[in-house]
Structure 1
Amino acid sequence: MGRLTRPEGLAVGERVRFDGQIRLVLAVSGRAVTLSDMDGTPRPVPPAMLFADDDFEVVDSSGRMPRPPVSLLETLPQATLEKALWWEGHILEVLSGLPPDAGAGTELKPQYGPSRSLTARERAKAVELTAAGHRVSASTVANYRRRYETSGVMGLVDHRPVRKTPKYGTVNDVVVAAMSQAISEATDASTRTGTFLLWRTEQILKAASEDREVKLPSRRTLYRLLDKLTAGTHTTGSATTRRSRAHGATAPFGELPAFAPGEVMQIDSTPLDVLVRLDDGVAGTVELTGMIDVATRTVTAAVLRPTTKAVDASVLLARTVTPELMRPGWVDALRMSRSVLPHRRLLTLDERLEHAAARPVIVPEMIVCDHGKAFMSRNFLASCRFLQIDLQPAHKGSPFEKGHIEKTLASVGTLFTQFLPGFTGRTTEHRGRHLDKQPLWSLPELQELLDEWIVAKWQNREHDGLRDPTAPGRMFTPNEKYATLVEACGYVPVALAGDDYVELLPSLWRVVNDYGIKIKRRTYDSPALTGLRRQHSGIQAKKGLWEVHHDPYDISRIWVRDHRAGSGWIEATWKHLHRVPVPFGELAWDHVAQGLPQATEEEIADAVAALLAKAHAGPDQPAGKKRTARDKRVAARTRATSTPAPAEPTPTEADPSGQDSEPLAEVIPLGLFDPFEDPWRRV
């Protein structure tokens, strides 16, 4: 009797090798282990006899050889593969009694019959191979058999010809560590070339190995090592991408699924590639801050400011959750009632939608943003808590987590900004000359232009990310997708009330004078302010001033809190609002509600072309006509002569008729001195 090999445990259903065959354990008791037999009759075996058998072992419960990885077999050298397949044939003969290429009716060789133990069959195979000229021992055959049962054909492969070399070859580990440190130091630094990184590697080695000298490999080897260590890191490429890769999220990429409007929204800011005329008359750049709904790709609000602040983010949020009302000069085709949006159903929830433009009102459930100061400020966080919005900051250095808003803001430059005068291009390499000499839009005018372009163009533009899953060939517009999701998920937007919107706006403290309230050289007044003029507000901490809320992106009106009457608001309008020009052309929609007048594709195409032409011409310019230097001089002289003329002189005694005998010289009056005018401007 052989050696006794007792397993840690034996359970019903396991497969064991006993008496040269693979058998199934049918029952286990203290006196016997019942095994299956080839003739179908269960065979009880005492545990002592079972464990003492030379072939006994617990095998895999599947009882099958692993499937050979065909793709890996194709990478092996031909000689190595042929040797592995040659061994497979002999091992299969040891296990089953027949070689794999045996024909039908082939009889088993006596030395490989089922009555012989596995050890005896392995000895017989060793004798057979040795007689054929292959010196093989029984232990070698047993080793190959175990490897084959564990790993299949790959277990029989001689890995010496295909052995993998070290990742960094024969380069010293100290050199690899020094170069890795140099690459790590370059993550947040300015981009440098590989020559600097090799020099920095040498400096690190000298500082770390003062007591012993480390021999550096050749220059070519160092460059090969640098290529391996910097693969995918953009160490000598884009600094923005390098920092994003280094500090971004390490988890697998993914995005939050959005199946309803407002479920996931994204907000971000970016510099706008265009010059504008600021309040002080100086040409400067502005930042665009926008919010987009992921499910519908709707741009719910977009605002322009010289520098994005926390209060601007709060105003953007307020605009998102309130209807976009029709503005003076906007044609009737821009109304929500003429769009594909479910206007009639929503009108029963909010009467303000009767005069709303065709931009969906979407209340966010979650807002994804970066770690900018404007979005992490106390003001914006308080606004989100007030509206019960979940604010989800993205990982630092991971702009891909809010890729929708990143792509949308970039599309504004492609689809809209490049048509404006003063367009600067993406970089200084794309910038033109004398941009500040062009007729630039002011910040309020450009804001009005952008608002109309979003409503007229963006919301009616087919988006590649809004394809129908059942018909991928069809794309939806943001307005169409919104209407579709409302029908599918029953989304009901609850727009922000007017008082709530005013509460989110930034506040100022001003005196209510006889003429009204002055903010940045603009005067606002209302008959309802009569009882507040030159009166103390009752707020001692503010020295009797009155609380005024204003929308930085809408200068047409302000709101004054009536502290004496409680928390009510008094709306005051700009005195010169009627003198503001309307900088827009006529636009139309390509999708309208059933039963209402429809706008053709030609009409909307002509309207968009007119809008872009007017935007390109600049303020106070006819579309398609550029002011020449002579036109500027004529306009300057016209402004100069528009001042009140002096009284005519009384006739002198020398000339009673009041007529001079000599013709008078032409008088060119001088204009009034303007302290805010550019002194270097040539007329």
Structure 2
Amino acid sequence: MTTPAHLRLGDLLRVGDTLYELVGIDGSAALLATADGRITAIKVATLLGDPTFEIVSSAPRRRRLVPTYFDALPPRIRERAVWLEAHVTEVLDGIPLAENDTGAAPRPEYDITRTTLRQRERAKIGELARSDRPMSLQVFQRYRRRYAATGLAALIDKRPVRRTSPTGRVDERYVDALHHALAENTTASTGTATRLKRAVDRAVRAEHGDDTVPIPSQQTFNRLLGRLREARHATGSAHTRRTLAHQPGTPFGTVVATRPGEWMQIDSTPFDVALRLDEEVSGRVELTALVDAATRTIAAAVLRPTTRAVDASLLLAKAMTPEPMRPGWPQAVSMACSALPYRVLRRVDDRLEHAAARPVIVPETIVYDHGSVYLSSTFRNACRTFGINAQPAHEDTPTDKPIIERTLESVKTLFAQYVTGYLGASVEHRGTHPDRQAVFSLVEVQDLLDEWIVTHWQNRPHDGLRDPLNPQRVLTPNEKYAALLAVAGYVPVQLSPEDYIALLPATPRVINSYGIKINHRVYDSDELNRYRGQLSGPTALGTRWQVHYDPYDVTRIWVRNHRDGGFLLAYWRQLHAMPQPFGDAAWEHARRIVADRGESTPSEETIKAAVDDLLDRAGPPPPPHPRRKRRTKTAQDRRVAARTRAATAAPTPIPEAPPAAAMFAPEDAEDVADIVPLPVFDADKESRTWW
């Protein structure tokens, strides 16, 4: 036996027929551990003097150094790396790493005390040659040297984990020019990759000169576009590019609503259904909806030819008013038969007796975008009237109100696509002449939408309403509302006639001796007699009074009485000549027609005659008159008239008034148009006959 120069911890020693591991040295005593864990203490001098003592392996015991990505590798690659490690460690240490802790003796051809490293390598190459995985000596030596330096990572096939640059070998200056071109392409119309490469090539040559920066081929450029995140949709949807560009670079903010009405969102979008606006005209309308973040309830949704500020304002009143049951609706969709706590709510609000299963929600905070409808003073005044905190979203940041954005898309996919006259989400998805299939009017589709919200949406499990204690359970909006009701409580809001009038747009006007003039229309009534030419009360207004009007019905106005309270009702002086209300759009269009004739300051009678002519020409053609020469009706005339009639046909929750307008009819008039009765407003009746 050859006495070793020194002993090291971890050495494998054999004394007699027992294999030990040197686990410690305490002074002159050596601590030896057997394979079963028993510790034996023996003097070092006695150990070295024992004739049967020999060092089986003087190399330190190895520990496997596993890279962090090892478990993510394919099983085939992991298995080969472990197989190679066993053969390499047997050559290095005499025992494979997997058998290092078993106390097994090395095979004779790999005993490091009796063979050299060269002999063990040749023995291993011969062993592998007889297996199904032969290997040359040079390759094995390369594995052995790398393993001794870096461990298991040296034996892994690097192709699945190889780190490559997204831009490959393309010059960085060319990549910088591409990033700049992609930023400009965000708001541009979609083109091909060839056009984009041409723009980048020209920019590179203009900045760095010809033949300075290598220009990649078209195939390399196409691969580069596929690798860059900024290049996604560079040749695809322009709308998607703009949407992705508006996403914030930081994590999305999250606002958690804990009660109904605490956080609501409002928005408008084109409705993808062609409607019959008139006998001859069909077209699209806009959908405006108000959604509650806590329960995902669509508190209110209205369809209008063009959304105005008054529509958004009246949407607030609709959300706070129960949805009445309609003729033909199944009793199963009533609030009494729903998941809502009808008995509890009925005790505090009599309006819910014949209500449908749509919760009544009082908004606390409403998030809106920067559309002109929501930035108008009409909408903001309506929010102040009800004590609602109006919170504008950041410009070009749709992630500030994602719930309403997704809800409007859901209405299109879950409801609109099943309605006759569906136009598709874009021109690409549009069929052949879908507008010719329009069979429903605005009022009919509004009624269908209200029924769909009550029957389907409010009873449909929503993925955003998962139970936090039981994520597998998904709640419906009605179930979520009932769950939060015990915590949030319920505050009934009885809207008075003044509340509805306050939601209408307002403008300051003077009460003259002849009445009040708005857009060349004169309004008057006996109620104004005491206040003609008088100060209104507020110093800022002076002699002007706050006048509220309905853009869809120009037959009457309401004057806020700052002195005695309430509102003063005034009617249009030309009401006796107009058998049906018409909106501001028809009036403004008529003004343009008259202006085109050369009249710079048209009178009220002239504009009134032009409106009559417009509505007549937009309607069924009258019998020809040999002496009467009329202006040929245009497509714009028909469209304006149809949209006006469609808007005025949909009833609005504006309080009615007694038929006092007859006072403006001339006494000698023989053929006076019928006056629509204007009954006294009844809040209970109004809530049951909404829409």
Shorter-chain TM-score tier: 0.5 to 0.7
Residue 389 of structure 2 corresponds to 389
Decide which of 449, 460, 463 is 2:460's aligned counterpart.
Answer: 463
Code of the residue aligned with 1:261 in structure 2: it is P
Code of the residue aligned with 1:240 in structure 2: it is H
Deviation of residue 380 (structure 1)? Answer: 5.1
1:549 match: secondary structure:
strand
Cα 1:564–1:278 shift into 2, 3 Å: farther
2:362 match: secondary structure:
coil
- 1:72 corresponds to 2:69: no
Decide which of 150, 153, 157 is 1:147's aligned counterpart.
Answer: 150
Code of the residue aligned with 2:173 in structure 1: it is V
Q: Indicate if the aligned counterparts of 1:460 and 1:479 stay in contact, CA closer than 8 A.
A: no
Q: Indicate if the aligned counterparts of 2:85 and 2:97 stay in contact, CA closer than 8 A.
A: no
Structure 2: runs of 5 or more not aligned? 1-7, 12-20, 42-57, 125-136, 582-615, 639-691
Code of the residue aligned with 2:187 in structure 1: it is D
Code of the residue aligned with 1:389 in structure 2: it is N
Deviation of residue 192 (structure 1)? Answer: 0.4
- Give the TM-score, by structure 1 length: 0.58
Residue 287 of structure 1 corresponds to 286
Code of the residue aligned with 1:100 in structure 2: it is A
- For 1:300 and 1:194, the matched residues in 2 are separated by 46
1:457 match: secondary structure:
helix
1:106 match: secondary structure:
coil
Deviation of residue 502 (structure 1)? Answer: 4.7
Cα 1:421–1:106 shift into 2, 3 Å: closer
Residue 267 of structure 2 corresponds to 268
2:507 match: secondary structure:
strand
2:563 match: secondary structure:
coil
Deviation of residue 235 (structure 1)? Answer: 0.4
Residue 106 of structure 1 corresponds to 104
Deviation of residue 186 (structure 1)? Answer: 1.5
Q: Indicate if the aligned counterparts of 1:205 and 1:214 stay in contact, CA closer than 8 A.
A: yes
Q: Indicate if the aligned counterparts of 2:147 and 2:153 stay in contact, CA closer than 8 A.
A: no
Cα 1:72–1:459 shift into 2, 3 Å: same
- For 1:636 and 1:81, the matched residues in 2 are separated by 88
- For 1:161 and 1:427, the matched residues in 2 are separated by 42
- For 2:100 and 2:421, the matched residues in 1 are separated by 84
Cα 1:678–1:243 shift into 2, 3 Å: closer
Residue 184 of structure 2 corresponds to 185
Cα 1:155–1:372 shift into 2, 3 Å: farther
Cα 1:427–1:523 shift into 2, 3 Å: farther
- For 2:395 and 2:300, the matched residues in 1 are separated by 24
Deviation of residue 205 (structure 1)? Answer: 2.1
Deviation of residue 240 (structure 1)? Answer: 0.8
Residue 237 of structure 1 corresponds to 236
Q: Indicate if the aligned counterparts of 1:248 and 1:395 stay in contact, CA closer than 8 A.
A: no
Deviation of residue 71 (structure 1)? Answer: 3.4
Deviation of residue 202 (structure 1)? Answer: 1.8
Code of the residue aligned with 1:453 in structure 2: it is L
Code of the residue aligned with 1:71 in structure 2: it is A
Q: Whose helix proportion is higher, 1 or 2?
A: 2
- For 1:170 and 1:284, the matched residues in 2 are separated by 54
Q: Indicate if the aligned counterparts of 1:361 and 1:495 stay in contact, CA closer than 8 A.
A: no
Residue 174 of structure 1 corresponds to 173
Code of the residue aligned with 1:147 in structure 2: it is T
2:98 match: secondary structure:
coil
- 1:297 corresponds to 2:296: yes
- For 1:436 and 1:136, the matched residues in 2 are separated by 76
Deviation of residue 568 (structure 1)? Answer: 3.2
1:292 match: secondary structure:
strand
Deviation of residue 99 (structure 1)? Answer: 4.6
Residue 648 of structure 2 corresponds to none
Code of the residue aligned with 1:465 in structure 2: it is H
Residue 618 of structure 1 corresponds to none
The C-alpha deviation readout for 1:449-505, integer Å capped at 9, x for no partner, is: 455334322122142426775999997664454334425x45424537545665444
1:269 match: secondary structure:
strand
Q: How does 1:76-225 map to 2 (within 5 A)?
A: 76=77, 82-88=83-89, 93=93, 99-101=97-99, 106-107=104-105, 129=120, 132=123, 144=147, 147-148=150-151, 153-154=152-153, 156-157=155-156, 159=158, 164-210=163-209, 212-225=211-224
Residue 452 of structure 1 corresponds to 447
Deviation of residue 361 (structure 1)? Answer: 1.9
- For 2:525 and 2:330, the matched residues in 1 are separated by 28
Code of the residue aligned with 1:83 in structure 2: it is L
Q: Indicate if the aligned counterparts of 1:526 and 1:572 stay in contact, CA closer than 8 A.
A: yes
Residue 316 of structure 1 corresponds to 315
The C-alpha deviation readout for 1:201-245, integer Å capped at 9, x for no partner, is: 221221122265334344433333333336861000000111222
Code of the residue aligned with 2:507 in structure 1: it is L
- 1:409 corresponds to 2:408: yes
Cα 1:253–1:145 shift into 2, 3 Å: farther
Q: How does 1:56-67 map to 2 (within 5 A)?
A: 66=66
Deviation of residue 325 (structure 1)? Answer: 6.6
- Give the TM-score, by structure 2 length: 0.58
Identity %: 36
Residue 250 of structure 1 corresponds to 249
Q: Indicate if the aligned counterparts of 2:260 and 2:488 stay in contact, CA closer than 8 A.
A: no
- For 1:555 and 1:492, the matched residues in 2 are separated by 37
Cα 1:476–1:123 shift into 2, 3 Å: same
- For 2:338 and 2:113, the matched residues in 1 are separated by 84
Structure 1: runs of 5 or more not aligned? 1-16, 25-31, 43-54, 114-120, 582-631, 641-667
Q: Indicate if the aligned counterparts of 1:424 and 1:432 stay in contact, CA closer than 8 A.
A: no
Q: Indicate if the aligned counterparts of 1:261 and 1:491 stay in contact, CA closer than 8 A.
A: no
Code of the residue aligned with 2:177 in structure 1: it is A
Deviation of residue 299 (structure 1)? Answer: 1.7
- For 1:271 and 1:358, the matched residues in 2 are separated by 27
Cα 1:197–1:450 shift into 2, 3 Å: same
Q: Indicate if the aligned counterparts of 2:267 and 2:290 stay in contact, CA closer than 8 A.
A: yes
Code of the residue aligned with 2:493 in structure 1: it is A
Residue 538 of structure 1 corresponds to 536
Deviation of residue 196 (structure 1)? Answer: 0.6
1:236 match: secondary structure:
coil
Q: Indicate if the aligned counterparts of 1:126 and 1:137 stay in contact, CA closer than 8 A.
A: no
- For 2:493 and 2:167, the matched residues in 1 are separated by 61
Aligned residues: CA RMSD: 6.1
Deviation of residue 195 (structure 1)? Answer: 1.2
Cα 1:80–1:357 shift into 2, 3 Å: closer
The C-alpha deviation readout for 1:43-79, integer Å capped at 9, x for no partner, is: xxxxxxxxxxxx9x9x99xx98548824326464987
Residue 8 of structure 1 corresponds to none
Code of the residue aligned with 1:396 in structure 2: it is D
- For 1:439 and 1:674, the matched residues in 2 are separated by 31
Q: Indicate if the aligned counterparts of 1:311 and 1:379 stay in contact, CA closer than 8 A.
A: yes
1:538 match: secondary structure:
coil
- For 1:546 and 1:506, the matched residues in 2 are separated by 13
Q: Indicate if the aligned counterparts of 2:181 and 2:200 stay in contact, CA closer than 8 A.
A: yes
Cα 1:136–1:340 shift into 2, 3 Å: closer
Cα 1:210–1:571 shift into 2, 3 Å: same
Of residues 413-422 and 362-371 in structure 1, the stretch that sits farther from structure 2 once superposed is: 413-422
Q: Indicate if the aligned counterparts of 2:309 and 2:376 stay in contact, CA closer than 8 A.
A: yes
The C-alpha deviation readout for 1:649-672, integer Å capped at 9, x for no partner, is: xxxxxxxxxxxxxxxxxxx99999
- For 1:493 and 1:127, the matched residues in 2 are separated by 90
